[in-house]
Amino acid sequence: MKTLGKTLKEAREQNSLKLRQVEDATGISNAYLSQLENDKIKNPSANILYKLSSLYNLELNSLMAASGAIKKKEDDTVSLLNSVAFSAESLSKEEEEALIEYLKFLRFSKKK
Amino acid sequence: MKTLGKTLKEAREQNSLKLRQVEDATGISNAYLSQLENDKIKNPSANILYKLSSLYNLELNSLMAASGAIKKKEDDTVSLLNSVAFSAESLSKEEEEALIEYLKFLRFSKKK
DNA sequence: ACAAAAATCTAAATATATCAAGCAAAATTA
DNA sequence: TAATTTTGCTTGATATATTTAGATTTTTGT
């Protein structure tokens, strides 16, 4: 399993962001960001992980897993069920299932 | 929005658990659990929230929202953009947009 | 190559999460 | 009812997350 630091640094570079820019965007000091990326921090707050996952368009679960909060990994379906829905009214069961089916379809037809 | 403390306490009682049972199950001290339930803690770690959501069968997201880690929600579109995710690989831009369109379609045809 | 600027990292200070111990109310049991 | 146990809580101690300031490294322009 990739460390939290590696995961965060890769994500930041993928988005071509500097530590200072991340600081401006999230309010997290660049010094602390550096420590996070160098695995000096064992237990960051949910707040911090959420802000970063949000900025980098990462799934929170992958950050939590990298940070050691989550140890085991589920399959796609369970993962989607658990992760979808920050919105005011979350997705209904039917909507979730429909979206999962639709995504499978999307990916299937993409493979040609 | 219900506070984190209220959310945790309700969940624990729903499962008929005592603070010390939760301590045994999670390794989180009953003293700290009490502080959490009384909203004395502003920024718990991702670790703690994950363990509790796991034990109580709660959505991690609902705990994060209650803890204030997840701010307020915008409209469905932005919210979905920020939240949908899969375990192995995250959604591509195209897939996100396709899913959002599809959800709009789902909800539109439901209204009839 | 050199100076200036930008970017990252380190160290010390501070804030806050988390724990250990013990207290008081409530519940249980004899 | 009194003794014992259980339960939730408070307080003080400690560990660790997070910040501020500054040092070091890397990049950029000339």
Structure tokens at A30: 């660049």
Is B49 part of a structural domain of the chain?
Answer: yes
DSSP A2-41: --HHHHHHHHHHHTT--HHHHHHHH---HHHHHHHHTT--
Q: Do B59 and B23 belong together in one domain?
A: yes
pLDDT at B58: 87
- Mean pLDDT in each 10-residue stretch from start to end of chain A (112 residues)? 92 94 95 97 93 89 73 36 33 51 49 34
Q: Number of A to B CB contacts under 8 A, please give it.
A: 118
Q: Do A45 and A8 belong together in one domain?
A: yes
- CA A77 distance to own-chain centroid: 17
Q: Rounded to an integer, what distance in angstroms lies between the CA atom of residue A85 and that of residue A35? A: 30
pLDDT at B91: 45
Q: How many distinct structural domains can be found in chain A?
A: 2
Question: Quick one: angle between helices B76-83 and B93-111, nearest 10?
Answer: 140
Q: What are phi and psi of B45, to 5 degrees?
A: -75, 160
Q: Do B13 and B52 belong together in one domain?
A: yes
pLDDT score of B36 more than 70: yes
pLDDT at A110: 42
Interchain contact A55–B (C-beta under 8 A): no
Q: pTM of the full predicted structure?
A: 0.69
Structure tokens at B62: 């609902």
User: Considering only residues 35-64 of protein chain A, which place a Cβ less than 7 A from any atom of strand C?
Assistant: 35, 37-38, 43, 45
Is A72 part of a structural domain of the chain?
Answer: no
What value does the CA radius of gyration of chain B take, rounded to a whole number of Å? 18
Q: Do B47 and B87 belong together in one domain?
A: no
Q: Do A52 and A107 belong together in one domain?
A: no
pLDDT at A35: 97
Q: Do B63 and B82 belong together in one domain?
A: no
Nearest CB among A47, A49, A59 relative to B90 is that of A59
Residue A9 CA and nucleotide D13 C1' are separated, in Å, by 36
pLDDT at A67: 72
Q: Rounded to an integer, what distance in angstroms lies between the CA atom of residue A13 and that of residue A21? A: 12
Q: Do A8 and A49 belong together in one domain?
A: yes
Specify the CATH number for the domain of residue A38.
1.10.260.40
Question: Does nucleic acid strand D have an atom less than 7 angstroms from the CB of B18?
Answer: yes
Confidence of residue B57 (pLDDT cuts 50, 70, 90): confident
DSSP B27-89: ---HHHHHHHHTT--S--BHHHHHHHHHHHT--HHHHHHHHTSS-----HHHHHHHH---SSS
- For residue B2, what are the CA distances in angstroms to A62, A88, B5, B19, B30? 27, 13, 8, 20, 22
Q: How many CB atoms lie within 10 A of CB A38?
A: 13
pLDDT at A103: 52
Q: Do B43 and B87 belong together in one domain?
A: no
**What distance in Å separates residue A51's CA from the closest CA in chain B?**
8
Residues 79-108 of B with CB under 8 A from A: 79-80, 82-88, 90-91, 95, 98-99, 102-103, 106-107
Q: Could you give the maximum distance between any two Cα atoms of chain B, in Å?
A: 53
Q: Do B27 and B46 belong together in one domain?
A: yes
Q: Do A18 and A56 belong together in one domain?
A: yes
Q: Do B50 and B92 belong together in one domain?
A: no
Least confident of A31-35, B30-34, B54-58, B78-82: B78-82
pLDDT at A102: 52
Question: Does nucleic acid strand D have an atom less than 7 angstroms from the CB of A29?
Answer: yes
Q: Do A61 and A81 belong together in one domain?
A: no
Q: Which residue has the higher pLDDT, A64 or B27?
A: B27
Residue B99 CA and nucleotide C29 C1' are separated, in Å, by 61
Query: Can you tell me which residue has the tokens 């932005």?
Result: B78
Q: Give B72's Cβ-side CA count (13 Å radius).
A: 3
Domain that holds residue B11: 4-67
Nearest CB among A47, A69, A86 relative to B43 is that of A47
Closest residue in chain A to residue B69, using alpha carbons only: A47
Is B72 part of a structural domain of the chain?
Answer: no
What pLDDT, in 10s, does the model give residues A62-91?
888 777 666 433 333 333 333 333 232 344
Please say whether the beta carbons of A61 and A55 come within 8 A. Answer: no
What pLDDT, in 10s, does the model give residues B63-101?
877 766 554 333 333 333 333 333 223 445 444 555 555
Contact B80 A60 (CB under 8 A): no
